[in-house]
Amino acid sequence: MISTLPRPVWLRTATALYVAAFLVFLFLPLTTVAVFAFNNAPYPAPPWRGFTLDWFVGNAGNGRLGLFHDTELLGSIVTSLIVACWVTLLSVIIGTANSFLMERWEFPGKQALSVLMLVPLVIPGVILGISILALSSRIAELADSLFGWDLDFLRPGLPLVVAGQFSYVATITTLMISARLKRFDRTLEEAALNLGASHAAVLRTITFPYLRPALIGSAAIAFLMSFENFNTTLILVGNDAPLTVTMYGRMREGASPVLNAVSLFLMLASAALALSLLRGSKRAS
């Protein structure tokens, strides 16, 4: 029942219990991961054997390789960051172009194009991955057999990972930026043009400043989506694995607390990103 209606005691108790159970369910896995990053034991499992920072800084005495010395994990974080930067850059630029196209222009086939733009969201990530892999390999083989060209970027590797993630992240940025552009009051642009401003000046001084919150927000979401992507990446990955794929591989071998350590950093980074976005959106509105 809603808050303005009388609620019997049992219902109040049940509600409180439900909220408590729900919060435990949400945060139990994450707190467990965080806590066991500091456990002084070779496996992330109970019992608690005391506090240690070995899994971060390493310990030559017992042969523990801490996160800060684990070159494979650190390298995969760098790989993830590079991929995420490319995906963010591409999908925000294309998303902006798409928003102007769909909100400002009329052309034949616009309806069909707007539906097609949503399609990447309903295709499972694994299938996006295999379809792009199939086509690019086919083109690579064709180029090799016809012209003897070795098109390395069409083989599994980071360029394909970027393409695969971009293929659906672009839909999300398009939706986010379009939503803001739709609410824009075009009389502002008209006024500026009437006062003699050039089209470029209007875009630079009026339209883009207005779009800024959506551009920043969609960039953050694109970055996060790319950094956390697993399905598409797993199919298209070559020799340099991004962080999610490296972590998955290690988890299949049996998790070591180094993974907890890197997870803790991921949680802190996500929380920082979420909070700064939330604060930014409050200031904008």
Nearer to another protein, 59 or 131 (CB): 131
Q: Is the Cβ of residue 60 or residue 194 nearer to another protein in the bound state?
A: 194
Pick between residue 3 and residue 60 the one whose CB is nearest to another protein. 3
Q: State in angstroms the smallest separation of the CB of 260 from another protein.
A: 7
Q: Smallest gap, in angstroms, from Cβ of residue 170 to another protein?
A: 6
Q: Which of 57, 41, 61, 19 is nearest to 256 (CA)?
A: 41
Cβ closest to another protein, residue 189 vs residue 240: 189
- Environment class of residue 54 by beta-carbon count within 10 Å: exposed (0-12), middle (13-18) or buried (19+)? buried
CB of 128 to another protein, least distance (A): 8
Nearer to another protein, 61 or 282 (CB): 282
The tokens describing 100, both together, are 């102007």
Shortest gap between Cβ of 109 and another protein (angstroms)?
10
CB 56, min distance to another protein, A: 16
Min. distance of Cβ 235 from another protein in angstroms? 7
Q: Which is nearer to another protein, 57 or 127 (CB)?
A: 127
SS (H, E, C) the chain: CCCCCCCCHHHHHHHHHHHHHHHHHHHHHHHHHHHHHHECCCCCCCCCCCECCHHHHCEHHHCECCHHHCHHHHHHHHHHHHHHHHHHHHHHHHHHHHHHHHHHCCCCCHHHHHHHHHHHHHCCHHHHHHHHHHHHHHHHHHHHHHHCCCCHHHCCCHHHHHHHHHHHHHHHHHHHHHHHHHCCCCHHHHHHHHCCCCHHHHHHHHHHHHHHHHHHHHHHHHHHHHHHCCHHHHHHCCCCCCHHHHHHHHHHHCCCHHHHHHHHHHHHHHHHHHHHHHHHHHHHC
Side-chain half-sphere CA neighbours of 195 within 13 A = 8
Q: Which is nearer to another protein, 252 or 283 (CB)?
A: 252
- Supply the minimum distance, in Å, between the C-beta of residue 221 and another protein: 10
